[in-house]
Amino acid sequence: MTACTSRGDSGDAGGGGGGGDEQITVAFVPKLQGIPYFEAMNAGGEAAAEELGIEWLYQGPTTADAAAQADIVRSFIQQGVDALIVAPNDPDSMAPLLEEAADAGIQVATSDTDAPSSVREVFVNQASVEGIGEGLTDALLEAMGGSGKYAIVSCGETAANLNAWIEVQEAYTAEQYPDAEIVDIVYAGEDQAMATSMATDLMNAHPDLTGLVGECTSSAPGVAQAVSDAGKVGQVFTVGLGTPQSMKPYLEDGSSSASILWDVEALGYLTAWVGQQLAEGNELEATNNVSDDLPEVEYDSETKVLLLGPPLTITTENVDEYDY
């Protein structure tokens, strides 16, 4: 396995269940390795590992493929890590593997994307479903002048977080923007070039389209690129869930109006921290003092959701505050 590790002074990496003076191992399996978003999560996890004295293991598939992700999860189960945290490409197919890990004595959680029907002990949520869905809608409709037709270019068809945000966007648009309409929802996987192609097709199929949403960090720059390529900056407006530096050129040329996101490195830090808490058998409080930067992280014991905080709106004014 390829591992990004940060070792403390508490001994060698231990097996499932921890114990003694062995160093706690927290493994995180993202949907996809090598894209800025999850690499930023990894950077946050590495920083936490260094501060907390745990070992952080990070590996994901090279394509957003549920089967390839499952193979990596199985390998971490075989290694006997103390805590296994996954951002599942397909929550339903991941659920049996999380149960297998739990049966092996490994503490299991999800981060970034939930598997709510699984045995996961905690979901580390980046922001509330309502906050993200409403934030995307408000940002786009403000640019569109409160009315018009728009389409959504999503990523994985089975991604629980993306589908939940889209449901909010549909309901919120109908309630708050009666003169706006979502005309289509398409799925580009985690492929930026495919998102650009699909956005181009949408503009051709709907000549009166005035808005596009890129529902993940690969489709957000993808839809903006399509508008730029079509010479429709100022005619078709886009927003999305893009990482700051990947969106900077599109924010600057006007092909994207805003990116709705969160502090991704902080999400990675929180993911590593919760892995340590689970491995040590510590109960989460209603409000948790995680670090100086995360002094009041809220936890809902009924849903077992640990919430990073409200989403951020990234524009030309604050994009340079984030280096990923």
pLDDT in tens, 55-91: 999 999 999 899 999 999 999 999 999 999 999 999 9
- Average pLDDT for 13-26: 62
The tens digit of pLDDT for each residue in 281-293 reads 999 999 999 999 9
pLDDT score, position 281: 98
Q: For 295-302, what is the mean pLDDT?
A: 97
Q: What pLDDT sits at residue 148?
A: 98
pLDDT exceeds 90 at position 5: no
Strands 237-240 and 305-307: unpaired
Among 32, 36, 12, which Cα is nearest to 22's?
12
**Tens of pLDDT, residues 153-168:** 999 999 999 999 999 9
Angle between helices 219-229 and 244-253 (to 10 degrees): 20
DSSP reduced 3-state for 157: coil
> For residue 15, what pLDDT is reported?
41
Mean pLDDT of 129-137: 97
Burial grade of 305 (CB within 10 A; 0-12, 13-18, 19 or more): middle
In percent, the amount of the chain with pLDDT more than 70 equals: 94
CA atoms within 13 A on the CB side of 39: 11
- Residue 21 has a pLDDT of 63
Q: Which DSSP helix (H) or strand (E) runs through 199?
A: helix 192-205
Q: In the structure, what pLDDT confidence band is assigned to residue 11 with cuts at 50, 70 and 90?
A: very low
Q: Tell me which H or E stretch contains 239.
A: strand 237-240
9 burial (CB, 10 Å; 0-12 / 13-18 / 19+) is exposed
Indicate whether 17 pLDDT > 80: no
Answer yes or no: is pLDDT of 25 > 80: yes
**Interatomic CA distance for residues 97 and 102, integer angstroms:** 9
Q: Dump pLDDT digits (tens) for 258-267.
A: 999 999 999 9
- pLDDT at 43 exceeding the cut of 60: yes
- Within the chain, which residue ranges are assigned CATH 3.40.50.2300? 25-126+263-309, 129-261
Backbone φ and ψ of 131, nearest 5°: -60, -40
3-state secondary structure of 309: coil
pTM of the model: 0.85
Decide which of 3.40.640.10, 2.40.110.10, 3.40.50.2300, 3.40.718.10 is the CATH code for 129-261.
3.40.50.2300
Report the pLDDT value the prediction gives residue 22, as an integer from 0 to 100.
86
Stretch 308-316: mean pLDDT: 95
CATH superfamily of 25-126+263-309: Response regulator (3.40.50.2300)
- What's the confidence (pLDDT) of residue 13? 34
